[in-house]
Amino acid sequence: MHSFKAIALLFLFMFAGQGIAQELPGKAERAKLQFLVGSFATESTVPPMPMAPKGASGKGTSLVAWALDSTILVIDDDSQNNLFGHYKGHGVLGFDAPTKQFRLEMFNNFGDHISYLGSFVADTLEMTAKVLMPEMPFNQKLLWYKEEEGVRLKVLNDVGKGLILALDQKSVPVSAAAK
């Protein structure tokens, strides 16, 4: 009788081990994010707009790395531009299996916390959020895509008149930027 219990216990552990070894939901979706991973030098432009008639430009760095067994990306941005000054951002991007969408939680040194949701449209990750500014909440859209050696990020804002480009950022790998 003891050998039967031992065999039953062995099978129980084997099946439990198989369940643990199963791949996590969203692995194929997460693989699409690989183009964002790396250490980048960034150049940003803000087109002319009422609050900045001459526009603005800036430079910085972006470090994007896998975390938690490659289930999420951790994003750290640090940049300086002549409109907003010194910007530091920290984000967590991952695939939310229940909603079948990507989710980005972004925090910055201005005290903002913005939650984005989105998915890929062709090779572009499109994410949207409602930015809750005290006097004027607005909709924001992020477009991230691979471009040549690096990554392009376009931020579009809609303050009630349709989407308008608010920031265009080109990121190149630090190794390529040093050339």
- Give per-residue pLDDT as tens, 1-43: 555 555 555 455 555 444 444 456 678 888 899 999 999 999 9
Tell me the residue range of the domain where 133 lies: 26-177
Distance set, CA 136 to CA 91, 106, 125, 160 (Å): 23, 19, 26, 10
| 175: DSSP letter | H
CATH code of the domain in which 127 resides: 2.40.128.20
For residue 144, being part of any structural domain is answered with yes
For residue 150, being part of any structural domain is answered with yes
**pLDDT at 94 > cutoff 80:** yes
Cβ–Cβ contacts within 10 Å for residue 38, how many?
Answer: 19
pLDDT recorded at residue 133: 81
Interatomic CA distance for residues 61 and 77, integer angstroms = 6
Q: Per residue in 108-118, pLDDT tens?
A: 998 889 999 99
Burial of 43 (0-12, 13-18, 19+ CB in 10 A): middle
**pLDDT at 176 > cutoff 90:** no
For residue 50, being part of any structural domain is answered with yes
pLDDT recorded at residue 20: 46
Q: Per residue in 111-142, pLDDT tens?
A: 889 999 999 999 999 999 999 888 889 999 99
For residue 3, being part of any structural domain is answered with no
For residue 17, being part of any structural domain is answered with no
For residue 19, being part of any structural domain is answered with no
- Our count of domains for the chain comes to 1
**pLDDT at 152 > cutoff 80:** yes
For residue 18, being part of any structural domain is answered with no
For residue 57, being part of any structural domain is answered with yes
Q: What is the pLDDT averaged over residues 75-85? A: 91
Is residue 69 very low, low, confident or very high in pLDDT (cuts 50, 70, 90)? confident
